[in-house]
């Protein structure tokens, strides 16, 4: 059985965004059953959780006694057993892995600056000053993604774990209207969010946020 560690509560702005969604979605696409252990902040700093994720973060996963952390690593591990998420053809596989890392290393950091300015540090005096620079940085990178996607339905031509990660990254901009400037990027996100596996993962995540945190998480 695969065990996923996720938060049992989070601020409203983070509902539907926390990174366990990536893992839930990948598990749904791969058709793998899993159980969820919901933790709170105190549990995330416990020595038991730090064994699973040295940064005290979620998601973390245990499968067959092996702990994995970092959402990208977990999704890659799940994808290894799913032709949908990671095609076996060497060219398609190389492209999918490249784009998985691109979503997490070349797009996500560019978008997180806007979350910092608008949400995490919104009350800091410097947040307003940095916002324009953060938006310009995100816009530049999204414009290149838009150009890549102009004649493609998915980042590598067919749906893979790269689209899954890219979609969860793009969702971080939902408090802005920035994506409206990028029709192909928006279309990719909407196409992926329409997948039944995404809908199921999102519904499960949102309903888990209302559950009482289990004693086993402490
Ligand atoms: N690079 C990590 C980031 C994980 C991360 O930032 N997790 C957030 C929830 S989405 C978290 O645990 N925040 C609480 C904290 O950092 O203490 C990954 O992709 O798994």
Q: Give the model confidence (pLDDT) of 17-47 as tens digits.
A: 999 999 999 999 999 999 999 999 999 999 9
Rounded to whole angstroms, the Cα distance separating 24 from 166 reads 15
Q: Give the pLDDT confidence of 78-126 residue by residue, as tens digits.
A: 999 999 999 999 999 999 999 999 999 999 999 999 999 999 999 999 9
* pLDDT score at 216: 36
Residue appearing with tokens 């933790």: 39
Stretch 128-155: mean pLDDT: 97
Q: Give the pLDDT confidence of 178-217 residue by residue, as tens digits.
A: 999 999 999 999 999 999 999 999 999 999 997 654 433 3
Rounded to whole angstroms, the Cα distance separating 26 from 39 reads 21
Residues with CB under 6 A from ligand 1: 18-19, 56-59, 70-72
Helices first, then strands: H and E counts in the chain: 10, 4
The closest residue, in CA terms, to atom 3 on ligand 1 is 70
Rounded to whole angstroms, the Cα distance separating 69 from 47 reads 15
DSSP string for residues in 38-58: EE-HHHHTSHHHHHH-TTS-S
The closest residue, in CA terms, to atom 13 on ligand 1 is 57
Q: Could you give all domains of the chain from N- to C-terminal order, each with its CATH number?
A: 2-83+198-208 (3.40.30.10), 90-195 (1.20.1050.10)
Ligand 1 atom with the shortest distance to the CA of 19: 10
* pLDDT score at 210: 72
């Amino acid at each position: 059985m695969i065990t996923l560690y996720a938060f049992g509560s989070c601020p409203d702005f983070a509902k539907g965004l926390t990174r366990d969604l990536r893992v839930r979605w990948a598990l749904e696409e791969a058709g793998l059953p899993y159980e969820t252990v919901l933790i709170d902040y105190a549990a995330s700093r416990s020595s038991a959780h730090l064994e699973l994720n040295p940064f005290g973060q979620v998601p973390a996963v245990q499968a067959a006694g092996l702990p994995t952390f970092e959402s990208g690593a977990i999704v890659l591990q799940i994808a290894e057993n799913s032709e949908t998420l990671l095609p076996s053809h060497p060219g398609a596989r190389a492209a999918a892995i490249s784009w998985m890392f691109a979503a997490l290393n070349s797009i996500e950091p560019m978008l997180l600056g806007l979350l910092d300015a608008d949400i995490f540090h919104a009350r800091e005096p410097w947040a307003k000053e940095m916002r324009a620079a953060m938006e310009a940085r995100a816009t530049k990178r999204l414009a290149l993604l838009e150009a890549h996607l102009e004649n493609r339905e998915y980042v590598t031509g067919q749906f893979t774990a790269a689209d899954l990660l890219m979609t969860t990254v793009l969702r971080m901009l939902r408090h802005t209207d920035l994506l409206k400037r990028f029709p192909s990027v928006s279309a990719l996100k909407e196409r992926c969010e329409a997948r039944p596996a995404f809908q199921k993962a999102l519904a499960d995540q949102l309903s888990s946020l209302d559950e009482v945190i289990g004693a086993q998480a402490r």
